[in-house]
Chain A
């Protein structure tokens, strides 16, 4: 084991040298076999959040399938754009792939956004989860009714990941209905959860699975779940549709590659992901995360899925 450890410590430096060599001297031979060196998996969000957990879950399984290591790198900021930029500024050779989630896709509604959905190719959608509004267990606001009443009197702060995200759209939807809600962006999950537990924000928008530890630890509770029907594990929490709020943008998390990457390489990654998603271990994890058990969508269907999700978001977005 000691040997493994040391070789890992050395790995960074060796791979640096290899990258330099492969990039300048032998570009042709590098294309023959894919993957032939480590693939960097960019997480455009801080460690500990849902995107990070997905990356940490699939990286080891994917390493077994692809037979190369997949170092996971967290590059948080700008609703996932800082990390996405990191992937998009790398060569389109399939050696830099990124987690791509609904929050970042939602930015496409702003025409000023510098990147286009066509700049990326999804390899697969890995997980789809319902989102919810949460309050701290010790908050004076106990139910959605309490929040509705209070938000008509004073502005309530909602901790979200970033402006323009799906989180933000849900908040905007309710402000249009006359509730005084203010989105406050916290890109790092730790800061978002501190905000709600420390009483610095009133409401948290998050996926159920991401705050499982806080739900189990009786620190937070869901007050409104965004879905068509009630969620079995939280039978006493209303679903948005039953209250007449027909809004439920699914939080999906996918693996994306840079557009222009060789089709065969995208398919290679997509097929490997399909194998990972089919394992019992992964299915059990989905259940544990309160996710849709049919979450997985391969590369072929993922583009259409994302375009449709974007349509749904546009429908709910505020008219400018």
Chain B
């Protein structure tokens, strides 16, 4: 214990060296920028920064990438809350309560909850990362493909709690999303599916195109029809990030805890990162939250759950990276690349041979979160002013971001057409009361679920019971199925009551 603390102190000394601290600040700002732009995903941003680390010393190189990773899980929430355009797939769950809150004129509070959630989730995970890295790392090894699948299945089944009024419509939307996700070359056998000999389709339909089109453009189209108006906000100029009161925080402490724990555990698992943890945490809130009935109407819990989990997943994903050399997420896989390029091999031996580098990385997580929140606090003050702009202008900006984002993903003009098509689809969905979220959820999580399902089937000689008989995947699958069936039972009970009442 004392050894850990003194090592960490040395880590802080490294981080606070002027060059390292400057690199950290740059990393935080770059991460925020990457997160805000829908076309640039977090992992892509870290990949783009990697070449700049070639010529650096190892410690600033690792600090830069780690800082980008941390802040990349945060800033996309701003665009979700203010524009209804998720900057990252991570931020899709923030559209529900976060955007609703902003529409009700409480954007400042929504941003405040986001800030606090990122801070709390990040810090809890960082403490776990430092104190429990070694024992917790073993959890990651017990997870295999059936567990990945169970987690993803639970994530998909959460559509029920997100679907709003009609379960049928939610399921139709989900399956449409899953179908879109199957387009392209399949991951296991390399079969071409629904490609119609169109080259770009064999490359698959990027979830980014669907997400940006259906949410961003769809929302703009809807406003076109309904007429633009300014958000009912009085005196926007006075608004700044309003941090929640202590009393409000205490009332939601369980949500903070659940979110952090979900983030850490999902972060640990190599197959899943911030996106899965964010969706999963929102789904869990929909199951166990004290105010689960109100979820989706713009309550703080709907912001806390996904945001704490997303930022907590950073600490979780770093644990298997440094203790075993196995990256827990896409971004940590790039950080592993940076370690390897500097001739450093993360693994059990690294704590003996280069502990100062590892602890500098740990320390940079703590400092990074503080710097990120400080920047976030002051940046959001100006960001909310956007809401004072006429909606027409904001919408034009949203359309531009959507098109730029679609093109940037693969530098292909076909994606711009696709984003327009999904924009229309999103509008039609919205118009005819089909929820969009299950569609996007299917497109993002579908391919991950498929490949873990296929690998499990191959691995356990086509025995489907394996998902139910393994100690971790079994309970998760059971909860997921109950989640799916619960609304059906509820409706049956209501009908019975009505029948009794009418008799």
Which residues of A sit under 8 angstroms from B271, Cβ to Cβ?
Answer: 188, 191
Q: Is A212 an interface residue (CB 8 A)?
A: yes
**Considering the chains assembled together, what is the distance between the CA atoms of A200 and B52 in angstroms?**
37
- A163-204 contacts to B, CB under 8 A, are 163-164, 182-188, 190-191, 193-195, 197-201
Instruction: Please give the distance in Å from B283's CB to the nearest CB on chain A.
Output: 23
Instruction: Please give the distance in Å from A99's CB to the nearest CB on chain B.
Output: 14
Which residues of A sit under 8 angstroms from B346, Cβ to Cβ?
Answer: 213
**Considering the chains assembled together, what is the distance between the CA atoms of A113 and B451 in angstroms?**
20
Q: Is B478 an interface residue (CB 8 A)?
A: no
Q: How many chain A residues have a CB neighbour from B under 8 Å?
A: 70
| B199:A88 contact, CB within 8 angstroms | yes
Q: Is A69 an interface residue (CB 8 A)?
A: yes
Which residues of A sit under 8 angstroms from B50, Cβ to Cβ?
Answer: 56, 72
Closest partner residue, chain B, to A52 (CB atom): B337
Q: Which of A47, A74, A219 contacts B347 (CB 8 A)?
A: A219
Q: Which of A82, A85, A86, A213 contacts B187 (CB 8 A)?
A: A82
A213-234 vs B, CB cutoff 8 Å, 1 = contact: the mask equals: 1101111000000000000000
A66-90 vs B, CB cutoff 8 Å, 1 = contact: the mask equals: 0001111110011101100110110
| B202:A184 contact, CB within 8 angstroms | no
Closest partner residue, chain B, to A113 (CB atom): B190
| A190:B270 contact, CB within 8 angstroms | yes
**Considering the chains assembled together, what is the distance between the CA atoms of A40 and B411 in angstroms?**
11
**Considering the chains assembled together, what is the distance between the CA atoms of A77 and B49 in angstroms?**
24
| A77:B54 contact, CB within 8 angstroms | no
Which residues of B sit under 8 angstroms from A193, Cβ to Cβ?
Answer: 325-326
Most buried by A among B140, B327, B461: B327
| B187:A187 contact, CB within 8 angstroms | yes
Q: Is B40 an interface residue (CB 8 A)?
A: yes
- B138-162 contacts to A, CB under 8 A, are 140-145
Which residues of B sit under 8 angstroms from A198, Cβ to Cβ?
Answer: 140-144
| B327:A13 contact, CB within 8 angstroms | no
- B427-476 contacts to A, CB under 8 A, are 451, 455, 458-459, 461
Q: Which of B48, B326, B411 contacts A197 (CB 8 A)?
A: B326
Q: Is B340 an interface residue (CB 8 A)?
A: yes
A114-B30 CB under 8 A given contacts A56-B341, A69-B51, A72-B47:
no
Q: Is A318 an interface residue (CB 8 A)?
A: no
- Quick check: which of B4-12, B286-294, B328-336, B375-383 contacts chain A, the rest being far away? B328-336
A1-40 vs B, CB cutoff 8 Å, 1 = contact: the mask equals: 1101100110111001001100000000000000000001
Which residues of B sit under 8 angstroms from A186, Cβ to Cβ?
Answer: 455
| A9:B190 contact, CB within 8 angstroms | no
Instruction: Please give the distance in Å from B252's CB to the nearest CB on chain A.
Output: 34
| B26:A13 contact, CB within 8 angstroms | no
Which residues of A sit under 8 angstroms from B347, Cβ to Cβ?
Answer: 213-214, 216-217, 219
A13-B408 CB under 8 A given contacts A47-B333, A60-B54, A194-B270:
yes
**Considering the chains assembled together, what is the distance between the CA atoms of A70 and B327 in angstroms?**
24
Which residues of A sit under 8 angstroms from B49, Cβ to Cβ?
Answer: 5, 8
A219-B337 CB under 8 A given contacts A114-B202, A191-B270, A213-B345:
no
| B458:A82 contact, CB within 8 angstroms | no
Which residues of B sit under 8 angstroms from A260, Cβ to Cβ?
Answer: none
**Considering the chains assembled together, what is the distance between the CA atoms of A233 and B40 in angstroms?**
43
- A111-136 contacts to B, CB under 8 A, are 113-114
Instruction: Please give the distance in Å from A186's CB to the nearest CB on chain B.
Output: 7
Q: Is A301 an interface residue (CB 8 A)?
A: no
**Considering the chains assembled together, what is the distance between the CA atoms of A213 and B344 in angstroms?**
9
Q: Is B230 an interface residue (CB 8 A)?
A: no
Q: Is A107 an interface residue (CB 8 A)?
A: yes
**Considering the chains assembled together, what is the distance between the CA atoms of A82 and B461 in angstroms?**
26
**Considering the chains assembled together, what is the distance between the CA atoms of A70 and B52 in angstroms?**
12
**Considering the chains assembled together, what is the distance between the CA atoms of A194 and B325 in angstroms?**
10
Which residues of B sit under 8 angstroms from A308, Cβ to Cβ?
Answer: none
Which residues of B sit under 8 angstroms from A56, Cβ to Cβ?
Answer: 50, 337, 340-341
| B325:A184 contact, CB within 8 angstroms | no
| B203:A89 contact, CB within 8 angstroms | yes
Q: Is A53 an interface residue (CB 8 A)?
A: yes
| A9:B341 contact, CB within 8 angstroms | no
Q: Which of B33, B186, B327, B451 contacts A190 (CB 8 A)?
A: B327
B22-50 vs A, CB cutoff 8 Å, 1 = contact: the mask equals: 10001000100110000110000101111
- B410-438 contacts to A, CB under 8 A, are 410-412
Closest partner residue, chain A, to B56 (CB atom): A1
| A47:B348 contact, CB within 8 angstroms | no
| B203:A86 contact, CB within 8 angstroms | yes
**Considering the chains assembled together, what is the distance between the CA atoms of A200 and B204 in angstroms?**
30
Q: Is B188 an interface residue (CB 8 A)?
A: yes
| A48:B327 contact, CB within 8 angstroms | yes
| A157:B459 contact, CB within 8 angstroms | yes
Top 6 A-B pairs ranked by shortest CB distance? A213-B345, A198-B141, A47-B333, A217-B347, A200-B144, A78-B190
Query: Mind listing 27 A-B residue pairs with CB under 8 Å?
Result: A4-B52, A8-B48, A9-B34, A12-B39, A12-B408, A47-B330, A47-B333, A56-B337, A69-B51, A72-B51, A77-B185, A85-B185, A85-B202, A114-B192, A184-B455, A188-B270, A190-B270, A190-B326, A191-B271, A193-B326, A194-B326, A195-B144, A197-B141, A198-B144, A199-B141, A214-B347, A216-B345
Chain B interfacial positions (CB closer than 8 Å to A):
22, 26, 30, 33-34, 39-40, 45, 47-52, 54, 140-145, 184-190, 192, 199-200, 202-204, 270-271, 320, 324-328, 330, 333-334, 336-337, 340-341, 345-349, 404, 407-408, 410-412, 451, 455, 458-459, 461
